[in-house]
Structure 1
Amino acid sequence: MSNKEQYIKKFCQSVPVFHQPFWLDAVAGKNWDVALITKDERLLASMPFVFKKTLAGREIIMPHLTQFLGPYYQLTASTYRSRLNEEMDLISDLLSQIPSNSIFFQRWHFSFQNWLPFYWERYRQTVRYTYILENILDHDILWSQFNEKIRREIKKAANNYIIEESKDVDAFYWLLKKNLLTKGNRIAFSREVLQNLYNGCKSNNAGQLWIAKDSSGKIDAAIFIVWDRTAAYYLIGGKNPENKNTGTMSFLFWHAIKTMSERVSVFDFEGSMIKGVENYFRSFGAKQKPYFEIFKTSSIPASIKFALLKMLK
């Protein structure tokens, strides 16, 4: 039985939502695999990866709509020295299973900070940032930590809009596309990918699409939230660019945070390196968390291609 078959049948129950087979199927089709370490029918470590085949060889990439991949493991040793030894061994073993490639690029979850075995193999790293609410269970404390503008936006939107669950992926995709076109950008993924991901999340009780609409039924904003056993994640959202200062995005976030507190204690905004977006997430009182982008190229042409791809994102 291959690593992928074992992972699907036996070992994927506890992994993050972005590592789940249904997620990888939705965003990558058949073009994914997994490095796997097991012992006595127990999962010790895993590292799924998505790839595409080109004339220059295999490229290991980050798929659209996927916040992080990278390693997943839970250390069991009791002392720091033993845990570090265990971690080094697991990461090195996972790395040894990664197939040859012309480009490697992954984002890792912020809780995995040890990339030293990758450094030793000439991989490189860039730090990025996400913002998280570490305890969403006490709504009064959360509200007190929002800045005044966020609170005003929520109150304003609550008087003019209602929030509903939605199944209308077409309308959501149209809203995302319209929002990006207004900013001079193009949407990077197809409607089919978004539909497949929505279907997979609903089938696995791992996601919800919410819309904010006015009294006439017109959608002003929407967000897609996904979750696993430990956290909820803001995946993507959009607002009608024709309507200014409605407060509906803040209203939707507040609704999502309160709803997700019935499932998990952590809310991850997924961060942004865009100044205005970063400031907005920070306004909710969220805590900054650094995470790694790990990458490597095998040749000068691959390096040029990777640099161009990064510029286009």
Structure 2
Amino acid sequence: MPAAADRYRAFCRTAPDVPVFAQPWFLDACGEGGGWDVVLAEENGCVVAALPYFYKQKGPFRYATMPPFVKWLGPYVLPEFRGVLKKEHLLLEELIKQLPPLAAFKQNFYPSTTNWLPFYWQKFRQSTYYTYRLLSLQNLSQVEAGINRNIRRNVQKAREQVQVVHDLGPERFYALNKMSFDRQQLPMPYSWAQFERHDAALAAHEARQFFFAVDAQGRVHSASYLIWDQQAAYYHLAGDDPALRDSGAGILLIWEAVRYASEVLGLDCFDFEGSMLPAVERIRVQFGAVQTPYFFVWKYTSRAFELLEKLRP
């Protein structure tokens, strides 16, 4: 019998709505510093549910966590088994039972995952976080009508100063992305090599687009990075030149990404990929986005590893 990961690759080729973050090729590209595997649940010899996970090793401890660029993972159940609680519980219990011995398990579940009860029964814990979503994108005029007046003003201001282009490439995007972290005196969470590999995988599967705001002098004010699957477009990454932030170009790029998701991709959902930060949350709400909960689910099975995690700076 093929290894679970190989069976999962085959399963994802036919499953109707596996999110981009859980696609095997996406996980392959994000696996630096660890690896990924999957547990599967079957019905009549066919895979009907899956739980991919990314693992790392720290000394004697192997633990499951979230890899770079992966916003959500968690259990995936075929649509025909969702919401039928008795069956769904059985499938989730089967997935949990097959997880290997791990010092810890930590995952952000997809916003579409609303049932984590079998994990609770097995002593997992949960915290609720939020992402923000624009829905009904096919009625773009209605979406635009829901935008706050301040956002409209910023978009208009930026349009007078910059134009939006797509063809400046990954190196230019990474430089702008890094500027935002440098401005906040935060370490860059991924290297150029990691981003290059990530971008190459998305480009090969035609699942990403760059947006750059460029002025008449050729200066790049802001950049953003949109990715998508069959269900939604995700505002994945962004960056600004700190010296040029007053132009409002970052706000313009959000709106251009929304338009792209609607008019070019034909999608009905635009996901901001969350943020619990007050200043960021305000912008999402001013765009008319709907607050949408998702679960962070975790469990420590090693007390020693838990203590080690708590002592880590």
Q: TM-score, normalised by structure 1?
A: 0.93
Provide the secondary structure at the position in 2 that maps to 1:28.
coil
C-alpha distance after superposition, 1:244-273 (max 9, x if no partner): 321111111111111111321000001101
Partner of 1:46: 50
Q: Which runs of 5+ in 2 are unaligned?
A: none
Would the alpha carbon gap of residues 75 and 136 (structure 1) be closer, same or farther in structure 2, given more than 3 Å must change?
Answer: closer
1:74 equivalenced with 2:75 (yes/no): no
Aligned match of 1:237: 238
Q: 2:12 and 2:288 mapped to 1: Cα distance?
A: 36
Question: What is the Cα deviation at residue 166 of structure 1?
Answer: 3.1
User: Which stretch has the larger CA shift, 111-120 or 299-308?
Assistant: 299-308
- Matched residue, 1:250: 251
**Post-superposition CA distance 1:171-198 (Å, at most 9, x none):** 2222122211111111111111111111
What RMSD in Å do the two structures reach over aligned CA positions? Answer: 1.8
> Cα deviations across residues 174-231 of structure 1 (Å, max 9, x unaligned)?
2122211111111111111111111111110111121111112211111111100010
- What are the residue-to-residue correspondences of 1:175-186 with 2, within 5 Å? 175-186=176-187
Cα distance in 2, alignment partners of residues 41 and 175 from structure 1: 49
Question: Can you give the 5+ residue segments of structure 1 that lack an aligned partner in the other structure?
Answer: none
The question of whether the paired residues in 2 share the 8 Å contact of 1:146 and 1:283 is answered with yes
**For structure 1, which segment, 221-230 or 48-57, has the greater mean C-alpha deviation from structure 2 after superposition?**
48-57
Q: Who is 2:12 aligned against? A: 11
Contact 1:12 1:20 in 2 (8 A): no
Match of 2:63 in 1: 59
Greater than 4 Å deviation, 4+ residue runs = none
Q: Counterparts in 2 of 1:158-177, with a 5 A limit?
A: 158-166=159-167, 168-177=169-178
- In 1: Cα distance, 2:273 partner to 2:300 partner: 26
Letter in 2 for 1:148: R
Structure 1 residues 77 and 172: alpha-carbon distance in aligned structure 2, compared to 1, 3 A threshold: closer
Please give the residue correspondences for 1:134-173 in structure 2 after superposition, counting only pairs within 5 Å.
134-166=135-167, 168-173=169-174
Please tell me whether the aligned partners of residues 234 and 271 of structure 2 are also in contact (alpha carbons under 8 angstroms). Answer: yes
CA distance in 2, matches of 1:222, 1:11: 31
1:1-313 matched pairs, under 5 angstroms:
1-13=2-14, 14=16, 15-29=18-32, 31-39=35-43, 42-76=46-80, 83-166=84-167, 168-261=169-262, 262-263=264-265, 264-307=267-310
1:32–1:164 CA distance, 2 compared to 1 (3 A): same
TM-score, normalising length: structure 2 = 0.93
